[in-house]
Amino acid sequence: MLLAIGASAQEILPFPPTPSGSKAGLTMETSTYKKRVEPRRLADGAPNILIILMDDVGPGTPSTYGGEINTPTLDRVAKMGVSYNRFHSTAMCSPTRAALLTGRNHTFVGNGQIAAIANDFDGFSGTIPKTSATVAEVLKNYGYNTGAWGKWHNTPEEQITSKGPFDYWPTGYGFEYFYGFLAGEASQYEPTLTRNTSPVIQHPKKGYHLTEDIAEDAINWLREQKAYAPDKPFFMYWAPGASHGPHQVMKEWANKYQGKFDDGWDKYRERTFVRAKAKGWIPQDAQLTPRPASMASWDSIPEAERPFQRRLMEVFAGFTEHADVNAGKVIAEIERQGRLDNTLIFYIWGDNGSSSEGLYGTISEQLAQNGIPTTIAQHLKALEELGGLDALGGPKTDNMYHAAWAWAGSTPYQGTKLQGAYFGGTRQPMAVAWPKRIKADATARPQFHHVIDIVPTIYELTKIKPPRIVNGFKQDPIAGVSMVYALGDAKAPGTRKTQFFDIMASRGIYHEGWFASAPGPREPWVGGMPKGIKEWSPLTDKWELYHIDQDWSQAKDLASENPKKLEQMKALFIEESKKNKNLPIGGGLWSTAMFHPEDAPASPLTEWTFDFPITRMPESAAPKLGKVDSLVTMEVDVPANANGVLYALAGFSGGITTYMKDGFLNYEFNLFEVQRTKIRSKEKLPQGKAMIEVESKLVDKIGGPMDIVMRVNGNVVGQERVPAAMSLHFTSNATFDIGTDLDSPVSLDYYDQAPFAFNGTIGKTKITYLKK
């Protein structure tokens, strides 16, 4: 035993010694010592909790509720419990997830925009404050084991590095375990993954798929949790990247749907509408809203392009069914362990409606994020080099379907993802089951609810009183209301009286059966710069009014018939916006490609020095090569006929690479697969030490043409103009590597040789942003 400074031996002994000749005092034999027992803070029989959150899927997609994509797991959960058919999201990824996990509105917790386009306005900062603790943090403190899998998308972009800070990672928000990706999307074949706070170093084997990986990992965690802490309940948040872009799945899954969508999206929508009514999922008097004038009809698609458009939908359908089946594997493991009866399951079909970000059909879905207009002819030409239609859904494409498929997937509503004004962007089917406590009932629950209502529902069912202080932080009020009252009574009056929506100024307000909305300055399925966007003002937007207790699908605009009611609703929207930090209106548009891409989240550094080659640096924290003026300088020892990558940013779906091939210096700017600008030195580099420089300069503005110059020992060896650079990022989840290309390879020239490590020696690498 160590002796404390200044203390006597007697002061540190565990028991006072018995005085000589006395029987008084304690001895080890007579001690009444009792082991400390932590008080149990949970009610007896507290359930395990599983939240399944699918991504970018609308109400008209699952077979459970009338769609044509097979969803056996959603079927199972719905049949075990009850379903809600007027449950809502925020219309966007990060905002919905923040609201779901905290029970507060998305802008109130700083997530009015996705993390990749956050800004300094309070409601759009991209950081969930510690004063709004997540349900995971509270459940952990009460005695739950907590884990999260798959997509996160709630950590500030510039903090996604192996050096943190980790306060705003899943493990900083109450999840004891995390396995997945921190950004908004990932390649399903070659993802950049994190376990807790450490990068996962993996070399995916043939047949690897991310959705299967997170299902297997969750199953392993369940087995360990049962072995190590059988007395503890668990909380699982399982959120696959499916069916967010890129739509990637093995051919056998996509082939299950061959020919099923040959007659196009208009007919799909009509069939789904009929089935949804037949199932009682929507009322018999619900109306099918018309296709927007700006969206193409199936009949207008040229016959030569239809095979491409059909296959894109087949891939999406297979991708979506595959995700649902893997969710079922997690539930099957819970059942195998004998714990399903006491597991509370929330299966939320989408963090927003189906996504129209594929615009007119694409092989590289980040084109839309960067505001780059293209034609189908460009996509088809690029696809020929990749293997034709057979390549769709595979590792060489980041495909997404035509926006009209997303519109059909939102049947019977107006709108798609990114539209808070319409239920096509916000209305998400949800099934809730707890076999031990919830009686199965096929009658849909029509009460109007929102993702913020999940947290108070969990607290009521677990008998947890929301804490006033969590980890030293006084807590903000919870905005959600419990849905428990409706679990056993489909006819119970709804308790949510008011709810506001706003995603990039597409906004709406619900109040006691009425809904007022303004669609905002753009339609998300129209590519390029929206007409008049620079002059847009929320003060001049046209508002619409719907009596949704009588008009289920927002089919009849009553604004001109009831202007007084509309003004009341507009005033209520402003009141709710003030309360929830949703000002300025349109604040989420600030850092987009349409306005100020220069203000999008990025590292504060303007100069980097890498003394040795570095790998797996997240693109979000890496130098913004391809977006800003820059100079890359590398000290290289070149072998004869050198081969290998000198540096690479991002991946096959879009990126920049500089590499050696048979002694020649090469540069490639891969503009999202549809356009590749290549430069090759006229002569081979001589063996020996060399100073290699790559200078990139924008001709005028971000996203415009960029001039590239390659120099070796001060001499120009190649130069070319890139017709269009990128505005925001190449990918959401790839990395920057020096000396190799560990992501999906940027260039086709070394695709089969990846990671194509450099066979020479790289010394110091310096990257500097150039001043204008």
Per-residue DSSP letters for 172-200? Answer: GGT-SEEEEESSS---SSS---EETTEE-
Residues in Cβ contact with 81 at an 8 Å cutoff, skipping those fewer than 6 apart: 345, 431, 432, 433, 434, 435, 438, 440, 441, 487
* pLDDT at site 369: 83
* pLDDT at site 15: 40
- Summarize the confidence of residues 400-423 as an average pLDDT: 98
Average the pLDDT over each of 122-131, 200-209, 716-725 and give the range with the smallest value: 200-209
C-alpha span between 413 and 198 (Å, rounded): 42
Three-state helix/strand/coil letters over 600-645: CCCCCCCEEEECCCCCCEEHHHCCCECCECEEEEEEEEECCCCCEE
Name residue 501's beta-bridge partners.
Answer: 508
- Summarize the confidence of residues 150-177 as an average pLDDT: 95
- Answer yes or no: is pLDDT of 1 > 70: no
- Answer yes or no: is pLDDT of 96 > 50: yes
- Scored b (16 or more CB within 10 A) or e, 127-156 reads bbbbebbbbbbbbbbbbbbbbbbbbbbbbb
Average the pLDDT over each of 70-74, 199-203, 415-419 and give the range with the smallest value: 199-203
* pLDDT at site 14: 43
How does pLDDT run across 433-464, given as a tens digit for each residue? 999 999 999 999 999 999 999 999 999 999 99
C-alpha span between 572 and 566 (Å, rounded): 10
Average pLDDT, the chain: 94
- Name the residue with tokens 């969590």: 470
- Name the residue with tokens 């003002």: 537
C-alpha span between 195 and 201 (Å, rounded): 10
The model's confidence at residue 19, banded by pLDDT at 50, 70 and 90, is very low
- Summarize the confidence of residues 122-142 as an average pLDDT: 97
How does pLDDT run across 328-344, given as a tens digit for each residue? 999 999 999 999 999 99
Please compute, for residue 313, the number of CA atoms within 13 A of its CA located in the half-sphere on the CB side.
27
| Claim: this prediction has a pTM higher than 0.85 | yes
Helix, strand or coil for residue 74?
Answer: helix
How does pLDDT run across 485-515, given as a tens digit for each residue? 999 999 999 999 999 999 999 999 999 999 9
> In this structure, how many other beta carbons lie within 10 angstroms of the beta carbon of residue 69?
24
DSSP secondary structure, 282-294, as one string: S-TT---PPPPTT
Residues in Cβ contact with 290 at an 8 Å cutoff, skipping those fewer than 6 apart: none
Contact 643, 749 (CB under 8 A): no
Percent of the chain with pLDDT strictly greater than 70: 96
> How many helices (H) and strands (E) would you count in the chain?
15, 29
Max avg pLDDT among 224-238, 529-543, 721-735: 224-238
- Answer yes or no: is pLDDT of 232 > 90: yes
* pLDDT at site 21: 47
- Answer yes or no: is pLDDT of 354 > 90: yes
Average the pLDDT over each of 52-56, 133-137, 367-371, 535-539 and give the range with the smallest value: 367-371
* pLDDT at site 29: 60
- Summarize the confidence of residues 453-477 as an average pLDDT: 97
Tokens at 245, concatenated: 């872009």
- Summarize the confidence of residues 721-739 as an average pLDDT: 93
* pLDDT at site 371: 84
- Please count the residues of the chain: 772
- Answer yes or no: is pLDDT of 166 > 50: yes
- Answer yes or no: is pLDDT of 5 > 90: no
- Answer yes or no: is pLDDT of 221 > 70: yes
- Answer yes or no: is pLDDT of 216 > 60: yes
- Nearest alpha-carbon partner for 392 in 356, 363, 357, 355: 363
- Summarize the confidence of residues 313-325 as an average pLDDT: 98
* pLDDT at site 31: 62
- Answer yes or no: is pLDDT of 22 > 80: no
Residues in Cβ contact with 378 at an 8 Å cutoff, skipping those fewer than 6 apart: 674, 675
Percent of the chain with pLDDT strictly greater than 90: 88
The model's confidence at residue 351, banded by pLDDT at 50, 70 and 90, is very high
- Answer yes or no: is pLDDT of 8 > 80: no
* pLDDT at site 599: 87
The model's confidence at residue 13, banded by pLDDT at 50, 70 and 90, is very low
* pLDDT at site 32: 72
* pLDDT at site 34: 79
The model's confidence at residue 532, banded by pLDDT at 50, 70 and 90, is confident
- Answer yes or no: is pLDDT of 25 > 70: no
